[in-house]
Chains A and B, each alone.
Chain A
Amino acid sequence: MKLTLKIWRQKGPEDKGAIQTYPVDGIDGDMSFLEMMDVLNEQLIEKGEEPVAFDHDCREGICGMCSMYINGRAHGPKRGVTTCQLHMRSFKDGDTIYIEPWRSTAFPVIKDLVVDRSAFDRIIQSGGFVSVNTSGNTIDANATPIEKENADKAFDAATCIGCGACVASCKNASAMLFVSAKVSQLALLPQGDPERKSRALNMVNQMDEEGFGNCTNTGACAVECPKEISLENIARMNREFLKASISKES
């Protein structure tokens, strides 16, 4: 199929950036979206132009590196997939496709479609862990049974890949879905219990400091999340945060 691509080009963080138009031909329905971008880049290199920079790595939907805003939607039109899992059979011959980077103050553009998501790392560093040393002297793994339902919910929250689609989809550029997934995972498990208060307070605090917006419950994040992380997690984080704030005051 033949397509017209309208792609955001931006040389660096200081550059203003603009949409540029590129025609591509010979696109097969079995290609992934990123393989279609490979075809474009090969063409650009041949012509002596600079290829479009975009983040990608595992190309199987788990590393969370790819991050395109396609026709106004994070990771494109399909639900529950990342850009690398989006295939060209989702488009028709003659389509025009707009491709932009994630847009958020907390995710500055590095180049073209590549943004800096290190804010997410700093949020995890502020408390997204259990403070246990790797001493090799922990208790036996089966010494603490965990109710299957809670274990499963913790797992569902833990499947977050940290791609940032939630932020990109939110009109407030809120990172609540990302942060709440980690807070929930550890709040649902006995191992996370000792630090649950400080964790909720510190992670929310760091999230605010990074410049992410607040949550107004539109739910766009959960719709666009490639791992379909549930909004329930945000409610749980709010409870955790509130409980921790109250007990801190008293």
Chain B
Amino acid sequence: MASLKSVTPKGALKDQWTNHKNDINLVNPANKRLIDVIVIGTGLAGSSAAASLAEMGYNVKAFCFQDSPRRAHSIAAQGGINAAKNYQNDGDSTFRLFYDTIKGGDYRSRESNTYRLAEVSANIIDQCVAQGVPFARDYGGLLDNRSFGGVLVSRTFYAKGQTGQQLLLGAYSALSRQIAKGKVTMYNRHEMMDVVTVEGKARGIIARNLITGKLERHGAHAVVLCSGGYGNVFFLSTNAMGSNVSAAWKAHRRGAYFANPCYTQIHPTCIPVSGEHQSKLTLMSESLRNDGRIWVPKKKEDCQAIINKTKKAEDISEEDRDYYLERRYPSFGNLVPRDVASRAAKERCDAGFGVNSTGNAVFLDFASAIERYGNLEANVKNIKNPSPQQIKDMGREVVKSKYGNLFDMYKQITDDDPYFTAMKIYPAVHYTMGGLWVDYNLMTNVEGLYACGEANFSDHGANRLGASALMQGLADGYFVLPYTIGDYLSKDIRTGAIDTTSEAFSQAEQSVKERIEKLINNNGTKSVDHFHKRLGKVMWDKVGMARNEKGLKEAIAEITEIREDFWANVKVPGEVNGFNPELDKAGRVADFLELGELFAKDALDRKESCGGHFREEYQTKEGEALRDDKNYAYVAAWQYNEVPSKAKLHKEELTFKEVELKTRSYK
């Protein structure tokens, strides 16, 4: 088994990427035509990687489980994408973006990767605009920006609350162009079931056609996983219903190390859970914290009155409100990073100040923003002595132009109108910083097997800042992987097409087949969702926003028990050979039941608090996260074990050349 070599280039941070590109081997254009690459997933990372590789001349096969590549879950990203363009002249730079990202990640990411991300960010915006992505513009026709949490500049580009959609459709159009040319063969409604390795190298996959149920063998010289994150291990999350860990987990089973699984982002502003029937949670973009103020009542009797519906948010007077983020973190206020905002909400709700019947909700209030914008508009429109009503009306129009679709979405779900009353929000699982371990070239420790975007672990450390996921997905797919993969593929120009009749392919297909048959013939009594919900509850209660040793140990035991129960009692209806969404789901939940245990093990092992990983035993007197740089400044990369909590730990020590490790303070 390969050891953890990050292959970080030598030299100063700012020169590393340029030097590396100059040093790596290239494949000449004629030879690229002899090389096949498989890309799994068609979100921002997958679509952009597939399109770019095809443009360069490689033969690409791309796979997605949805009915079209355009539906990958990147489509749902709302707020924006960061880039160090400094268009607002507020002192932004590559270094500042890098610094904010590495600090935001609580110094648990690889410095060289994070710097490269910041470096290529500006180019992403140029590229997307060239593709016709309609970013928001000002009246002068130039691009507009807004602010996100954890930073003091405006560097976020956006397209209303649909930035992910617009970026993904841009990448999808680039992909479509290559499909039309025949350089990409697209496999919709196909799921990757296994990675096939030959002599230690990834040489293809076993895929299942989700319409016919047939297993297919696909050979390639390299396999690139862009299969997203694993937030659905919690059952309830902001992820799409189909988002899953299976591709990454199969790679893990084939030898790829899984890094930092416990680093999960709990997003502070989501619509609270409303009942038992709930199937997913909906995010309200972080961009809302530009204008919304978060608060709970100071008096518990007011909370009770709100729950009993005898009072509304607007009935609570200003002096009886606790704007707890502004109180605790005066310099960043409502725009503290996500991990900090989430924990602060939990702290208030645990103390009994929640504002809905579950006790788990806080207010996100736009009343003062509406007032402020209304007054500005009155000045702009030269209205003397406007009435309070006029101010509110004009203010609401401005808020609508900024966040209209989010306000509509909120109203549809809750039946409350946020233009007139405060939103109720609560943290929910959103993004996973952990993922497959990759080196500087984005290759896992299995040769020829790559991971990009949310599927890898590399750029965000223990906490991702807002508007950085879109940046990373596109950076990996457009600008990093297409170069770095050439270094590896340059050794493959004489290999020829991969033989899919080999023993390795037969064995992999056979094991996939056996597993599917086991699921369908199990004849148990409980549905797949039954197990998924049980797993989710354990994860949320014991491996969620705050963790402790006792809870984590219990979680490991309980997940083991649920997994055993699953394989003994799960019932999967329908047939193997045909369209069977329950069967697809069963396979994914089976993998979550293994990942969940490793996740808890990783959280148990990391005896410090950092970013999205908060251990109750390790906190300051003020309740802030307490890092232990002396003992835990490493990436935890786990080697597969059938009993996930017995996985073997490999450490990649993190060294920082250009930043000083400090206590992260947003006060």
Q: Which positions in A face B, CB cutoff 8 Å?
A: 12, 28, 30-32, 34-35, 38-39, 42, 44-46, 48-51, 53, 55-65, 80-81, 85, 87, 89, 110-111, 114, 116-118, 120-121, 124-126, 128-136, 138-142, 144-148, 151-152, 154-155, 158-159, 161-162, 185-186, 189, 191-192
Contacts and interface: CB of A to CB of B under 8 A. Distances in A.
Q: What 6 pairs between A and B have smallest CB-CB spacing?
A: A145-B141, A129-B173, A155-B134, A125-B180, A138-B130, A141-B129
Given A58-B240, A138-B127, A126 B142 contact: no
A136 B131 contact: no
B568 interface: no
A53 B579 contact: yes
Interface stretch (B48-56, B387-395, B547-555): B48-56
Contact of B582 (A51, A57, A142, A191): A51
B152 interface: no
Interface string B282-302: 110000000000000000000
Contacts of A45: 527, 571, 573, 582
A131 B174 CA distance: 8
- Which of under 10, 10 to 19, 20 to 34, or 35 or more describes the interface residues of B? 35 or more
A188 to B, nearest CB: 8
Interface in B382-433: 408-409, 412-413, 415
A151 B574 contact: no
B314 interface: no
Contacts of A148: 137-139, 141
A145 B89 CA distance: 18
B73 A121 contact: no
Contact of B68 (A51, A110, A117): A117
Contact of B165 (A39, A89, A152, A159): A159
Contacts of B87: 142
14 contacts: A45-B582, A51-B582, A58-B241, A62-B165, A63-B75, A114-B579, A129-B131, A142-B87, A145-B142, A148-B139, A152-B134, A155-B159, A191-B130, A191-B132
B49 to A, nearest CB: 10
Given A55-B67, A58-B75, A155-B166, A147 B141 contact: yes
B279 A60 contact: no
Contacts of B478: 134, 136
Given A60-B76, A121-B68, A185 B125 contact: no
Contacts of A132: 127, 130-131, 174
Contacts of A59: 240-241, 279-280, 282
A148 B139 CA distance: 6
Chain A contact residues: helix, strand, loop or mixed: loop
Contacts of A192: 132
A117 B278 contact: no
Given A60-B409, A63-B73, A162-B70, A28 B166 contact: no
A64 B70 contact: yes
Contacts of B120: 136
B123 interface: yes
Contact of A141 (B55, B85, B139, B408): B85
A149 to B, nearest CB: 9
Nearest to A135: B55
B240 A57 contact: yes
A129 B175 CA distance: 9
B176 A63 contact: no
Nearest to B474: A134
A147 to B, nearest CB: 6
A183 to B, nearest CB: 12
Nearest to B70: A162
B479 A136 contact: yes
A51 B126 contact: no
Nearest to A140: B126
A5 B173 CA distance: 39
A34 B279 contact: yes
B240 A118 contact: no
Contact of B123 (A31, A116, A136, A162): A136
Contacts of A151: 134-137, 141
A134 B52 contact: yes
Contact of A87 (B159, B278, B413): B413
Given A60-B409, A118-B67, A134-B55, A35 B279 contact: yes
Given A28-B277, A118-B188, A130 B130 contact: yes
A185 B172 CA distance: 15
Contacts of A158: 134, 159, 166, 169
Interface string B264-289: 00000000001101111011000000
Contacts of B211: 110
